[in-house]
């Protein structure tokens, strides 16, 4: 990513585990060309790190507010973060 990239840490709450939220996030992030990762948390939330052009990160965040069809997103907490490694991963 270049100097104009935006990197964010995201925490998603609601019905976001057991509904393919991580796989969906990885697929959408790869379509958008974003770097980062996504993982389930023990409290039932999903965390992610996203990095890419600011407008593309904003588009991804808008999609994450809806999530995949079986998800119900209650909150999406977004904070600025340092850039992740290149590529996109699903973490355990």
Options 6, 40, 59, 65, the catalytic residue: 40
Annotated catalytic residue 66: no
Query: Which residues are CB-neighbours of 56 under 8 A, at least 6 positions away?
Result: 32, 33, 34
The sign one gets for the Cα dihedral 79, 20, 44, 70 is positive
Predicted pLDDT of residue 1 = 46
In tens digits, the chain (92 residues) has pLDDT values of: 455 899 999 999 999 999 999 999 999 999 999 999 999 999 999 999 999 999 999 999 999 999 999 999 999 999 999 888 789 999 98
pTM of the model: 0.92
Annotated catalytic residue 28: no
Predicted pLDDT of residue 33 = 97
Domains of the chain by start residue, with CATH: 6-84 (3.30.70.100)
Separation between Cα atoms, residue 21 and residue 7, nearest integer Å: 20
Options 11, 22, 39, 65, the catalytic residue: 22
Predicted pLDDT of residue 70 = 96
- The secondary structure of residue 17, as a DSSP letter, is S
């Amino acid at each position: 990513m270049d100097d104009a990239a935006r990197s964010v840490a995201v925490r998603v709450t609601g019905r976001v585990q057991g509904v393919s939220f991580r796989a969906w996030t990885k697929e959408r992030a790869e379509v958008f060309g974003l770097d980062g990762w996504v993982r389930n948390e023990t409290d039932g939330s999903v965390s992610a790190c996203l990095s890419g052009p600011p407008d593309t990160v904003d588009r991804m965040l808008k999609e994450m507010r809806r999530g995949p069809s079986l998800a119900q997103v209650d909150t999406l907490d977004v904070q600025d973060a340092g850039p992740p490694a290149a590529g996109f991963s699903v973490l355990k």
